[in-house]
């Protein structure tokens, strides 16, 4: 039953009309930006365990409006010796389709211990960890964390990025007081600069005033 549902959803996502050209107001985070990047979907260090379709380079794209808001976030945090590290922003629809295909293959659990040790893979779609459409494909959603600028070490958020578990909820009581404080700092500075948090993922924020609220894009990251 799970495979049938996922197959139908994948077909719907693939057949939907997508914008395949990159708009002029989508920008790549430049090498000299104060925003750090680590594009895990270009590597095998992600919950699938292999490079993701549509990520042809370790580049982070996002709308210009989102980038400017993140620069303001970075400027606020720099005063305290803290920086921003982005794991993902714009995500092409073909990458989302790759996630759905992976979720359908219940025999592939190579990354289970690292990314979803307490969740049955058969329930990833039902529980909302995997979806046929992602706000990331609209270009104004970001996955990010905070880093110590002096050491480059990520602040302890209680769980890694993309960890499928109830402990990844932003206000989970399964993490320590220090970890909750770090999440609260991230959430407060992001909301100050116009982002809405996703309660189920401490790392996930969407620009409230996103320029493409109904548009999904399919151009590759390159």
Tell me the catalytic residues.
201
Question: Quick one: tokens of 177?
Answer: 């007081």
Closest to 129 measured CA to CA, from 139, 137, 138, 119: 119
Q: Note whether 113 and 119 are within 8 A (CB).
A: no
Beta bridge partners of residue 205, listed in sequence order: 142, 197
DSSP string, 151-181: T-PBP--SS-TT--SGGGSTT-TTS-HHHHH
Sign of the torsion angle spanned by Cα atoms 133, 98, 217, 208 = positive
Closest to 162 measured CA to CA, from 83, 46, 38, 36: 46
How many helices and strands (H and E) does the chain possess? 5, 7
- Between CA 178 and CA 188 the distance in angstroms is 15
Question: Quick one: tokens of 35?
Answer: 């925003």
């Amino acid at each position: 039953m799970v495979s049938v549902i996922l197959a139908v959803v994948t077909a719907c996502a693939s057949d939907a009309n997508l914008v395949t050209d990159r708009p002029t107001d989508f920008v790549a985070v430049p090498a000299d930006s104060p925003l750090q990047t680590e594009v895990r979907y270009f590597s095998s260090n992600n919950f699938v365990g292999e490079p993701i379709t549509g990520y042809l380079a370790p580049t982070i794209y996002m709308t210009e409006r989102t980038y400017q808001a993140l620069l303001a976030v970075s400027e606020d945090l720099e005063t305290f010796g803290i920086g921003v590290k982005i794991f993902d922003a714009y995500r092409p629809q073909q990458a989302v389709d790759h996630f759905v295909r992976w979720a359908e293959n219940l025999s592939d659990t190579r990354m289970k211990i690292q990314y979803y040790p307490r969740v049955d893979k058969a329930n990833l779609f039902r529980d909302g960890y995997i979806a046929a459409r992602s706000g990331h494909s609209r270009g104004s959603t970001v996955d990010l964390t905070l880093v110590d600028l002096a050491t480059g070490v990520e602040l302890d958020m209680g769980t890694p990025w993309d960890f499928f578990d109830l402990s990844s909820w932003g206000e989970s009581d399964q993490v320590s007081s220090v970890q909750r404080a770090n999440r609260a700092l991230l959430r407060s500075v992001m909301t100050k600069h116009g982002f809405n948090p996703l309660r189920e993922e401490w790392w996930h924020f969407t620009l409230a005033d996103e320029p493409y609220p109904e548009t999904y894009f399919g151009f590759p990251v390159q």
